[in-house]
Structure 1
Amino acid sequence: MISLFRDVAGPSLAPGGSVACVGAFDGVHLGHRALLARVRERAAARALTPLAISFEPIPREFFARGTPVPRLASAREKIEHLRSAGVSALLSLRFDAALAAMPAERFVEDVLLRRCGVRELWVGADFRFGHARRGDVALLRELGARLGFDVEVMDDVLVDGERTSSSGIRRHLAAGEFDAAASLLGRRFAIGGHVVRGQQLGRKLGYPTANIRLGRRTSPVDGIFAVRVHGIGDRAWPAVASLGVRPTVDGGGEPLLEAHLFDFDGDLYGRRIEVEFEQKLRDELKFDDLDAMVRQIDRDAEQARAILAGEKRLRRTGESRDPAPI
């Protein structure tokens, strides 16, 4: 169970004081989890309330001003990952023009002190906050010394010598490096959502799919993938999936995640599932006709079955056994 709060104004979330951390927490990766574990540990040692402070949309989405920004997790998924990481109280602030314009000193007074009762604050070394990103660790320490709270900086978490970061994970995913991304995330990248009705063209072609709309979320990956689907009984279901705008049938419409579950017969409409990405097979292509598309889907499905059964892996991302026509 996680208690969620959204506004700067309101009663103190920790009248007896808190140990808190602040961040966008996109993906809630291993570095985030180490930070959250430290907050819980310090809160227990000082008999204070552990708190996490985050933002929705994440700041880089707000400042992108309509330009799509890839996300590792939706707002709902982020909350669920924070809950699984042991967070029991989350202040998820609405990042809007008013919050972006808030001076760093006021953020400390209104958010950290009045709203959260912070007695000890944990941040990353590159943390910036407040109007024009003027606030940093040095300012936090200066204000903390004057206003009565401690500031601690979390060391980077390294995996095989690589710093764990959301931006690094996005780069790995964009390059099709799902194993490298998983080593930093602490789990395989996945997208969840409720199954919606589509055009049912896949059913007519012999490949019925479970469809998930991305809505306002921008995925860091697109193309054709070997995947596993969770949320159907007590097993991860092997599948082949496409994520993109379906140029052959839609001419480039709304992005859609479509998963064809191997050897599955059932109704999934309305059910929430999670599609876990194992390996990229190829980029999305536009075919001359539906027959050509089905022949390639046949090859994709065969290849995905082999990968998920552990029979082989591609030599490099995007390489097909039978190259598709361009």
Structure 2
Amino acid sequence: MSRLFRDVEGESLCPQGSVVCIGAFDGLHLGHRALVDRVRERARTAGRAAVALSFEPLPREFFARDQPPPRLLLPRAKFEGLCGLGMDMVGLLRFNAAMAAMSAEDFVDRVLVRRLSAREVWVGPDFRFGNGRRGDLALLQALGAKSGFSADAIAPVDGEGGRYSSTAIRQALAAGDLDGAARALGRRYAIAGKVVRGRQLGRKLGYPTANLRLAGKRPALSGIYATWVHGIGAEPMASVSSLGTRPTVLGVEPLLEAHVFDFDGDLYGRRIEVEFVARLRDEVKFDDLPALVRQMDLDAAQARRVLRHDLEERGALA
């Protein structure tokens, strides 16, 4: 079982040495996966622990708290994704004022050397670290030579539209280009979380929903979507989902609401994953609830058609 750690201080987590990759890993796209795969393979060959090192919140979120960048993965999903890729340990270091002020040299000494006993460190292209982003690969290699580890960067991983990047995926999702995002991710975009109680207005309107909160993170997309919900039964279940602030009913906090077709059960507390298949429309404010329900009827019918076609295509490809 993979282990999660969040603190800089403490005894060595890997007394036999480790192979480490460092990155934001937001989205775990194909470029991230190439980096993680390299570390897993090197660690298995050397008989050392494979470690993925990241931060929560992400540095860009910390420095832009008034307008944080959209997130592709919530912290738990990032941890679970890295575990699924074979990491023995995952560090989601707390990025706070002390971390922001830490020099590149201190980061190497305190985290890579003392905490992780690193023997190899792998990073992505354009890697920077430490206070003021002063550290780069050349500095990491120089410090590693003094501290007993090697450092290297993987080559850029390119797709049809150029280098895979979280920024490009965010832009694709915001534009409704779910297929483009899926090509970079290696899978369809999805959001996972624990079902929480809402105001139960959807049930009163004939559309009960499973609600996922986003842990205060800014979502990378919004609107109404045809979706598959995983985690209820053996097979994904067809659904229509809304991601936004629910302007018709004066919502504020972004919320993902999934109405699962032909299902009537209690999902509170269950962890599910909502897979986005097609964008149906923007989120809009309606004059009254009857107008909202009429549109929900249309959305549900359209989502059923989209998902029926998706199921037929999957069958044809099988």
TM-score, scaled relative to structure 1: 0.91
Q: Distance in 1 between matches of 2:27 and 2:220?
A: 12
Q: Cα deviations across residues 104-142 of structure 1 (Å, max 9, x unaligned)? A: 111111111111111111011211100000000111122
Partner amino acid for 2:56? E
1:299 aligned partner: 298
1:1-326 to 2 correspondences below 5 Å: 1-250=1-250, 252-310=251-309
SS at match of 1:61: helix
Deviation per residue, 1:271-320 (Å, 9 max, x gap): 221111111111111111112111111111111111001179xxxxxxxx
What residue identity is the alignment partner of 2:175?
A: A
Report the AA paired with residue 125 of structure 1.
P
Greater percentage in helix: 2
Q: Which runs of 4+ in 1 moved over 4 A?
A: none
C-alpha distance in structure 2 between counterparts of 1:141 and 1:271, whole Å: 45
> Secondary structure in 2 aligned to 1:276?
strand
Structure 1 residue 51: Cα displacement: 1.4
Higher mean alpha-carbon deviation, 46-55 vs 173-182, is at 46-55
State the alpha-carbon separation in 2 of the partners of residues 268 and 52 from structure 1.
Answer: 32
Q: Distance in 2 between matches of 1:247 and 1:136?
A: 45
Following superposition, the deviation at residue 63 of structure 1 comes to 0.9
Give the whole-Å Cα distance in 1 for the aligned partners of 2:310 and 2:49: 49
- Aligned with 1:66: secondary structure? coil
How far apart are residue 49 of structure 1 and its match? 2.3
**C-alpha displacement of 1:205:** 1.7
Percent sequence identity is 61
Distance 2:47 2:267 in 1: 46
TM-score by length of 2: 0.94
